[in-house]
């Protein structure tokens, strides 16, 4: 029950009027970011990060994580009302959410989506509360080989779980590592990969990459699709909310299953997007109304929303307890922690108790704040979507440019942002995934450090990665993830020939 005490201590840290105000500001900004094209959780937080440098770290991370919750909520609004997923993880929500809105049940669909998101997140937060300290305690015994093995597992599961061609995932990921290597090598002090261009000495900042890849890239993509917003209007009042809530308990099984899928996919860095699709697919197969999915079934909204939110939240567990983020947004938050001088990882739970438990308590409060805000302000956010794209697009480019500049007060960064924007566009068009690139860019130095230390320990003998049961089993799991798609195909083939 140590955790309960710590959690209550956390509430006392988080529940100051200033922090509560930041929570509401954060969630509102987050929903806004989730609704607008070109801004999402990852680059929205990246842009706002420099503005929080003057705040105390706990308050800053509370606000930033609340932006994240807001963005998760916001994605559902555009999916249901406009049939345009504001975020990749809300694509599956359009399948049943938009038909519901077309049948005039927009309010019901939105209430269902928001409530499911809330339940998914809540489940994941409870899990973080009790599991994260255990994982951290366990990870205190980790040495360099074990840490490298965890990195290895993280990156292998990207290749194994990703829906893009495996070799493209590999290329994108390794590009991230290569970009991370640019600049001064921290061990030998040599300059790497700058080819005499001394402005590159401090390396590529992943915040710039995130702003360009996700922000500018997304604007270019939306432009190509020639966005014309024509959405449904939604009214949400207390009656609709209560009516919908009365219907929800009978779908408890779908909710629970989606929570579990979401948490699992969030911790192993599958991420929110595959979690939402997987959960929708399984719900369709298991539900007695499965055949009617796609025509406006509430269950078809519950499944993806619950899983996406659970995954998005669970992605913070490895970030906090191991220092390894499960999603690009978690990676940006991790970058923020590093800037404030907090090294995420097992020691954080020992050395920065106030901070960790304040953050975990703020997750509970932030999600409640989020639910209240989205249920009351939907018409307002929907109105923003009716602002024409030709006004929104240049304003977002301006916001991205300012965001990129404020990271280091460097003009070069704005040019790099543009370059990353073009790259993000090309990558998305050709289905090279962006998430592993960003994660590799963030974790590159640490992964390399762990690898080199491990090599030093063993004098270059690779067998160190299988030298005890702990590191061996993590590496083994990683290799299993790597060959997962091949195994899946083999099993399917065997089944076919058996039938």
Partner 1 sequence: MRSAEVVVALFMLGLGALVIFDSVRLGWGWGTEGPEAGYFPFYIGAMICIGSLVTLFQVLLGEQIKGLAVKWIVRAKPARLHHDRRKDHEVFVEWSALRLVLQVLLPAAVYVLGIQLIGIYVASAAYIAVFMVWLGKYGWTRGLIVGVGVSAVTFAMFEIWFQVPLFKGEFNPLSLIGY
Closest approach, Cβ 213 to partner 1, in A, equals 14
Closest approach, Cβ 94 to partner 1, in A, equals 22
Which member of 114, 142, 152, 177 binds partner 1 (CB under 8 A)? 177
Q: Which stretch binds partner 1 (CB under 8 A): 182-190, 306-314, 315-323, 324-332?
A: 182-190
- Binding-residue pattern over the window 44 to 83 for partner 1, x denoting contact by CB under 8 A: ------xx--x-----------------------------
Tell the residue number behind the tokens 């739970």, with chain if given: 349
Q: Which stretch binds partner 1 (CB under 8 A): 80-88, 112-120, 332-340, 385-393?
A: 385-393
Q: How far apart are CA 218 and CA 74, in angstroms?
A: 17
- Rounded to whole angstroms, what are the CA distances from 362 to 130, 134, 369? 15, 20, 10
Query: Which CB, 45 or 310, lies closer to partner 1?
Result: 45
Q: How far apart are CA 288 and CA 280, in angstroms?
A: 14
Which member of 249, 288, 341, 460 binds partner 1 (CB under 8 A)? 460
The angle that helices 272-286 and 252-267 make with each other, rounded to 10 degrees, is 150
> What's the token pair of residue 172?
């994108």
Closest approach, Cβ 206 to partner 1, in A, equals 16
% helix / strand / coil in the chain, to the nearest 5?
Answer: 80, 0, 20
Q: How far apart are CA 212 and CA 402, in angstroms?
A: 12
Q: How far apart are CA 271 and CA 39, in angstroms?
A: 18
Query: Which CB, 92 or 442, lies closer to partner 1?
Result: 442
Closest CA to 309 of 469, 122, 475, 182: 122
Query: Which CB, 151 or 293, lies closer to partner 1?
Result: 151
Residue 76: alpha-carbon gap to chain centroid: 15
CA angle 326/332/335 to nearest 5° reads 105
Closest CA to 233 of 118, 379, 375, 331: 379
The count of other CB atoms within 10 Å of the CB of residue 456 is: 12
Q: Which 200-239 residues touch partner 1, going by CB under 8 A?
A: 216, 219-220, 223-224, 226
Query: Which CB, 13 or 180, lies closer to partner 1?
Result: 180
Q: Which stretch binds partner 1 (CB under 8 A): 120-128, 306-314, 427-435, 478-486?
A: 427-435
Closest approach, Cβ 447 to partner 1, in A, equals 8
What residue ranges bind partner 1 (CB under 8 A)? 50-51, 54, 165, 167-168, 170-171, 174-175, 177-178, 181, 185, 187-188, 190, 192-193, 195, 216, 219-220, 223-224, 226, 388-391, 393-395, 397-398, 401-402, 405-406, 409, 411, 414-415, 418, 421-422, 425-427, 429-430, 432, 448, 451-452, 455-456, 460
């Amino acid at each position: 029950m140590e955790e309960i005490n710590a959690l209550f201590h956390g509430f006392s840290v988080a529940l100051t009027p200033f922090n509560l105000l930041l929570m509401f500001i954060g969630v509102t900004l987050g929903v806004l970011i989730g609704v607008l094209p070109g801004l999402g959780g990852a680059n929205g937080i990246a842009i706002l990060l420099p503005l929080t440098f003057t705040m105390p770290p706990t308050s800053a991370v509370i606000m930033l994580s609340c932006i994240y919750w807001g963005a998760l909520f916001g994605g559902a609004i555009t999916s249901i009302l406009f049939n345009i997923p504001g975020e990749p993880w809300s694509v599956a929500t359009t399948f049943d959410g938009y038909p519901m809105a077309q049948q005039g049940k927009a309010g019901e669909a939105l209430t269902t989506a928001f409530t499911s998101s809330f339940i998914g997140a809540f489940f994941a937060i409870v899990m973080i509360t009790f599991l994260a300290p255990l994982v951290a305690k366990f990870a205190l015994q980790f040495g360099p080989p074990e840490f490298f093995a965890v990195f290895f597992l993280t990156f292998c599961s990207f290749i194994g779980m990703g829906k893009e061609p495996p070799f493209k995932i590999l290329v994108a990921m390794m590009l991230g590592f290569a970009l991370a290597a640019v600049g001064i090598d921290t061990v030998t002090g040599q300059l790497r990969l700058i080819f005499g261009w001394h402005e590159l000495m401090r390396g590529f900042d992943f915040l710039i990459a995130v702003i360009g890849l996700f922000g500018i890239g997304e604007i270019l993509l939306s432009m190509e699709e020639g966005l014309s917003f024509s959405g449904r209007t939604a009214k949400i009042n207390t009656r609709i909310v209560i009516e919908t809530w009365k219907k929800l308990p009978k779908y408890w099984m779908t909710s629970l299953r989606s929570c579990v899928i979401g948490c699992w996919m969030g911790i192993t860095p599958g991420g929110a997007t595959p979690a939402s699709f997987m959960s929708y697919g399984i719900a369709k197969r298991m539900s007695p109304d499965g055949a009617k999915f796609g025509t406006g079934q509430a269950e078809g909204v519950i499944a993806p929303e619950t899983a996406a939110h659970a995954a998005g939240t669970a992605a913070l567990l490895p970030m906090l307890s191991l220092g390894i983020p499960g999603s690009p947004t978690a990676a940006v938050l991790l970058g923020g922690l590093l800037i404030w001088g907090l090294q995420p990882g097992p020691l954080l739970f020992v050395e920065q108790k106030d901070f960790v438990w304040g953050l975990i308590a703020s997750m509970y409060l932030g999600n409640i704040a989020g639910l209240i805000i989205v249920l009351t302000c939907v018409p307002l956010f929907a109105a923003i979507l009716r602002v024409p794209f030709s006004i929104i697009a240049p304003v977002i480019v301006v916001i991205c440019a300012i965001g990129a500049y404020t990271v280091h007060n460097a003009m070069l960064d704005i040019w790099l942002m543009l370059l990353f924007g073009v790259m993000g566009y090309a990558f998305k068009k050709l289905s090279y995934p962006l998430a592993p690139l960003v994660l590799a860019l963030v974790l590159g130095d640490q992964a390399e450090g762990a690898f080199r230390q491990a090599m030093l320990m063993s004098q270059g003998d690779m067998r160190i990665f299988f030298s005890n049961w702990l590191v061996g089993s993590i590496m083994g799991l990683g290799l299993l993830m790597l060959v997962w798609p091949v195994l899946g195909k083999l099993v399917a083939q065997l089944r076919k020939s058996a039938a």
